[in-house]
Structure 1
């Protein structure tokens, strides 16, 4: 990874922080993106990287982040869309969207598209990878284009929204792979395994599981980060762009809506409308 630039969102904690450490140790220049200023700067300082602050509950923050990254880096080799998580209490963002779908999908969708012209230029010289942290929770998710903000479905302590958002990561990655085919950009999504981090710590289900497990439930962040580090760094992934990995195993189990090309295209258009963005016209 020597000489390569990696952008990791959600890089100030959990598997994002572990991946940032591992990739920096392998020679990469890492842009650590986080919401918490103290933690984000601490991780960046620790690994010799650079800190970028953004709150994905605010799409204007995402736009400012994209501007800052484009100004700072002439080349980005890896974009790891890792930020997001499960939110137990329903709430809307300042942009009017349910927080789970915005932080897990709309924000990274917008960031990726704002960076995409530069990434295409970079990929003409050497391959570029875009990686999404998804989850096996996608298997119980359902994308409803008429209700992406879950205003007309049961909340279920945030799990219904989380399942939908993780399915969104996979469907977005599949459509991104189709739209960038032949460009030198490779897109992948992955399930890290059940990782023992602060993820979902305020939900009753995980509180109970951690109590039963004596607080030792799940993989370490370092173990959970292995698929992200591998997808970012191996010379040849060995699977087609658009593949979803369950940890290191390609073609992991997904909900039936994954692989539906018509749905993916319609979902892309719905996401564009949601974030107020459209692709610039091509010559």
Structure 2
């Protein structure tokens, strides 16, 4: 029976839907590997579900490279990589790597991790799952020539752009490696009552910290179940590779989300920024 279990790596697993999905998957008997930024929070979840864990701050790409090396060495087979780490931020801020924080934490870091693990993932016939958001459709003003948000920055637009980038990355990854056996999907977990936007200020900060609005949000368990559905499902049978999902169903997102040329351009720009060949 143990040989039938999947090895599922979840980033952003120390809180919110990542932690909820980790609990659900571990409860189903899967091997769950946790990745988080906070050692205390990540270790607490790891103890709770008896799972291994790794620490990496996505605001530093060198930590992502170290994480990839650790994962590749420790887990020769990875059945699912869930790129769930992310966040909403307020004022425009550059990371240590010189990139706009929202873009790096929500897109670039996961893009880098996936590419560094790509050989292992293909060998495992793995699924790569991106936690996106309906914010891609509602707030994105995507400009391939302004990925760093240097012009007319707002935290809300930056987040929408990054979530659209998740969908475009999913689409282009599917185009490039589907024939090699890799499957991909992006999903919206719902407007989940977590603390991940509490420091962003503005509209998002208000929505996620106001007790009244939080009453109408999705629970972390329900949001986590959207990730669990994709992680445990069979591509081609339960879900379609390369697609974007809401409530476990393929849905339309931003009009640019199906722009194949834009998806290729984003891949090439992202690869150049993190020092990978396109």
User: Which TM-score band (shorter chain)?
Assistant: over 0.9
The answer on whether the counterparts of 1:76 and 1:122 sit within 8 Å (CA) in structure 2 is yes
Deviation of residue 277 (structure 1)?
A: 1.4
**1:121-270 → structure 2 map (5 Å cutoff):** 121-123=123-125, 128-139=126-137, 140-155=139-154, 158-202=155-199, 203-209=201-207, 210-211=209-210, 213=212, 215-236=214-235, 237-250=237-250, 252-270=251-269
Cα distance in 2 for partners of 1:208, 1:82 equals: 23
Cα distance in 1 for partners of 2:36, 2:71 equals: 13
Runs in 1 of length 4+ with deviation above 4 angstroms? none
Structure 2, unpaired ranges of 5+: none
Say which is worse superposed, 55-64 or 42-51, in terms of deviation.
Answer: 42-51
Cα distance in 1 for partners of 2:73, 2:47 equals: 20
> What per-residue deviation string (whole Å, max 9, x for no partner) do you get for residues 49-83 of structure 1?
11100000000000000000011011000000000
Cα distance in 1 for partners of 2:184, 2:156 equals: 26
Cα distance in 1 for partners of 2:100, 2:205 equals: 23
Query: TM-score, with normalisation over the residues of structure 2?
Result: 0.93
Deviation of residue 214 (structure 1)?
A: 6.5
The answer on whether the counterparts of 2:92 and 2:153 sit within 8 Å (CA) in structure 1 is no
Cα distance in 1 for partners of 2:157, 2:234 equals: 36
Cα distance in 1 for partners of 2:100, 2:206 equals: 26
Show the counterpart of 1:10.
12
**1:55-134 → structure 2 map (5 Å cutoff):** 55-123=57-125, 128-134=126-132
The answer on whether the counterparts of 1:142 and 1:167 sit within 8 Å (CA) in structure 2 is no
Distance 1:225 1:212, change over 3 A: closer
Aligned length: 272
Query: TM-score, with normalisation over the residues of structure 1?
Result: 0.92
Cα RMSD of the aligned pairs, angstroms, is 1.6
> What per-residue deviation string (whole Å, max 9, x for no partner) do you get for residues 107-162 of structure 1?
00000000001111122xxxx1100000000013133222101001232xx10100
Structure 1, unpaired ranges of 5+: none
